[in-house]
Amino acid sequence: MRKVQRKLRLGEFESAIALLRAAREVWPENDCFGSSNMAPEEEFLALREIFFAELGGDS
């Protein structure tokens, strides 16, 4: 999550989306990175939540 957030905050949107989707494939259990068939609007909202989340560390 921190890497996705960092990329979003640096404006590296394509990389952030690719990283989120890759994480979704690697860790599909519990949909912690979203479901594999989520709509683009849902994916945008998930990325927005990650962007604004207080994750601690060097976000």
pLDDT value, residue 59: 46
Residue 33: its pLDDT value, please? 83
Q: What was the pLDDT predicted at 36?
A: 81
Q: According to DSSP H, which parts of 1-59 are helical?
A: 2-9, 13-26, 40-52
Per-residue exposure over 9-43, b if at least 16 CB sit within 10 Å of its own CB, e if not: eeeeeeebbebbeebbeeeeeeeebbeeeeeeeeb
Confidence at residue 58, expressed as pLDDT on a 0 to 100 scale: 59
pLDDT per residue rounded down to tens, the chain (59 residues): 999 999 999 999 999 999 999 999 888 888 778 888 889 999 999 999 999 999 887 54
